[in-house]
Amino acid sequence: MAMRDFLFLGFFAMVMALVGLAFFYAAYIGAPGYLARLARNRERHREQPWLAKRSWRNRRIIYSTGHQVWFMWFWRFAWWLILGFIFHVNHDAILSALRGPWSEAIPASMPFVAGIIGFLAALSLTWQRFFGGDAVFLLATLPGWLGDHLRGTLEAALKEKPNEPVRVKLSCGLTRLERVMGTDGNWHSELVTEELWTVETTIRPEQTMFGSDGARIPVDIALPAGQPESGDILDDPQVIWKLSFKAGSILDKAVNSEFEVPVFERRGRR
Burial zone of 60 (CB within 10 Å; 0-12 exposed, 13-18 middle, 19+ buried): middle
d(CA 184, CA 165): 43
Burial zone of 193 (CB within 10 Å; 0-12 exposed, 13-18 middle, 19+ buried): middle
pLDDT for res 51:
92
Q: Region 230-256: what's the mean pLDDT?
A: 90
Is the pLDDT higher at 1 or at 45? 45
**Tens digits of residue pLDDT in 103-113:** 888 888 888 88
**Tens digits of residue pLDDT in 54-102:** 999 999 999 977 777 777 888 788 888 788 877 777 878 888 888 888 8
33-37, 49-53, 238-242: lowest mean pLDDT where?
33-37
CA distances from 194 to 4, 249, 263 (A): 55, 29, 17
pLDDT for res 11:
67
Angle at 261 between CA 257 and CA 267, to 5 degrees: 170
pLDDT of residue 230 exceeding 80, the answer is yes
Q: At residue 155, what are phi and psi to the nearest 5 degrees?
A: -105, 120
Beta carbons within 10 angstroms of residue 79's beta carbon: 16
Predicted confidence band of residue 270 (pLDDT cuts 50, 70, 90)? very low
For residues 255 and 156, the answer to whether their CB atoms sit within 8 Å is yes
Predicted confidence band of residue 172 (pLDDT cuts 50, 70, 90)? very high
CA distances from 83 to 44, 75, 121 (A): 49, 12, 18
